[in-house]
Amino acid sequence: MSVITVKNLSKRFNLEAGFFAGFGRFVYAVNDVSFTIGKNESYGLVGESGCGKTTTARLLVRMYESDGGSILFDDSVDVRQLKFGELKKYREKVKYVFQDPARSLNPRMTIYEVLVSGYRFSSRWPGNKQARAEAASILEETGLSEADLERRPAEFSGGQRQRISIARGLLMKPELLICDEVVSALDVSIQGQILNLLLEIRARRKLSFLFIAHDLKVASYFCDRIGVMYRGELMEEAPAENLCLNAKHPYTRLLFSAVSRGPLDGTGEKAARAAPAPRGEVKAVTMELSGCAFAERCPLAEEECLRERPAMRETGGGGFARCHKI
């Protein structure tokens, strides 16, 4: 059974801003993206900055409204059609942890107020006494203490603030936690602590994750399956272990070659060695694609790649790739 099923999701933004701005030039942020996240599964979306992974995540909680496609929750609830109270209850089950805790935590609030500010207006609000007990318990679960409830965000380090953000997301006992680049702004040693914390939480709560990252090595450590995005499209999807050992798409191999500059501990080394040298520059996403999104940079590209958009094809081992050459 799936927690979230996404089919053919798309989103474009008007390039001009303001009330009197013209209409007709667009940024094509998400193009025909499909994936599923199962119960107690961690699914990663990986790619360069601007590839559409954060926009995709925000479409799932309706921070943005999608232009096309479908989002099903628990295989039955059409998320795009939810209104008012139904949408509110859905958002209690799907929580979002932002990249920068310094900006997402109100510096004027105490940690207790930060944790319960949304909880207070939910359908699950148990009253102040019980909410305080739950807030203390969730802080301890994320590695802090009850005494921290009366402190303010500025008194904590970046890693501790991220623990507070995770605690806020967990307080309403969600079924899916969306983690948007939650370790990208942290030191490497702190990244490991936060990732291990999330693994412990997942095992204890049987929680599903959508894990957004630009680092394939980090995603491979945490996730069960990974989708690789480029220019708003899903280029390859495979179980994390298979992707590390035998990435198929030229863009995925290019990403592994980037992380291979540091110690890899075996992660992605085969894919990195097989990576062809890229050519060309990243093109703007202000035009609707007619061919392969990666064709302008791909050293394997031929005329067919520039002209025809490839379909997702099975690559074996539960993997899929969008490439004419596979």
How many angstroms separate the CA atoms of 325 and 7, rounded?
A: 24
Total count of residues recorded for the chain: 326
**Residue 136 — φ and ψ, nearest 5°?**
-65, -40
Per residue in 66-89, pLDDT (tens digit) is 999 999 999 999 999 999 999 999
| CATH code that applies to domain 2-231 | 3.40.50.300
- % of the chain surpassing 70 pLDDT: 90
Say whether 298 sits in a helix, a strand or coil: coil
Q: Distance between CA atoms of 298 and 322, rounded to whole angstroms?
A: 13
Segment 272-295 mean pLDDT: 67
Query: pLDDT of 135-144, one tens digit each?
Result: 999 999 999 9
* Count of H-run helices and E-run strands, the chain: 12, 12
Locate tokens 């996403």: which residue?
285
| Sign of the four-CA dihedral 145, 151, 153, 155 | negative
Q: Per the structure block, which two tokens stand in for 141?
A: 């679960």
pLDDT of residue 151: 96
Separation between Cα atoms, residue 195 and residue 177, nearest integer Å: 13
Helix, strand, or coil here: 307? helix
- Concatenate the DSSP letters of all residues of 46-82 into one string: E-STTSSHHHHHHHHTTSS--SEEEEEETTTEEGGG-
- Looking at the whole model, is its pTM more than 0.85? yes
